[in-house]
Amino acid sequence: MFTPNAYWWLIIPGLLLGLYAQFKVTSTYRRYMREPSSRGLTGAQAARTILDRAGLTNVPVEEVPGELTDHYDPVQRKLCLSTGNFHGATVAAIGVSAHEAGHALQHQASYAFLKVRMALVPVTQIASNAAIWISMAGFFLGFAKIAWLGIIVFGVVTLFQTITLPVEFDASRRAKEQLFRLGLVTSAEQAGVSRVLSAAALTYVAAMVSSLLTLLQFVLLARGDDRE
């Protein structure tokens, strides 16, 4: 029988923040994708310069399909840039590419939060898969009955997303520092880079808030169950 979760409404703030973050990142990114780089640098060239200057000549910069699919692969030690950022000679492309290079710099510096985050990846993958089943089981069996399972699973996911925040903010900080130090952007462009990276960081904050509120739902349900 369908059993409603008394605290379901807790998903609403996270959902709204997530939608706002998505809107913000898309609109900011598109705006600065129209702003050409005064140095005529593409995202790939900016990332290459940052990596080479840090002595990371062995870290390749590769093109991957899709929009904003950019990431640093710490296992294969390579930078993957989406087509638009790889070839784009714009403020947005340089900002995102430099951010990914920032992750490679963190790896090189053995940045503690990056190491913790990497260590948490396998257990988080298991928890993320379990989360779907837990939500379904809760829907049919009653959320209070599986509350403790929910706390463990969403506890892991929330921990991972919390650790992700300093990693993302630090990568952006390193990106801006290098872009400025190496003279890859003007000070006006630097402001644009900051806006693009702040908007992107907001999506990580939204994801963390969503998980935290889901975790809170299960904590409240577990407490209710104990009182019965």
Tell me which residues are annotated as active site: 100
Binding site for Zn ion (CB under 5 A): 168, 171
First to last CA, the chain: 20
Residue placing its CB nearer to Zn ion in the complex, 142 or 166: 166
Closer residue to Zn ion in complex, CB, 18/102: 102
Question: CB 110 → Zn ion: shortest distance, Å?
Answer: 17
Report, in Å, the least distance between residue 80 CB and Zn ion. Answer: 12
Q: Is the dihedral of CA 183, 82, 167, 30 positive or negative?
A: positive
Least distance from Zn ion to the Cβ atom of residue 103, Å: 6
Q: Which residues contact 105 (CB under 8 A, 6 or more apart)?
A: 50, 54, 56, 171, 174, 178
The CA distance from 83 to 126, in Å, is 30
Q: Given the complex with Zn ion, which of 61 and 134 has the nearer CB atom?
A: 61
Alpha carbon distance 221, 195 (integer Å): 39
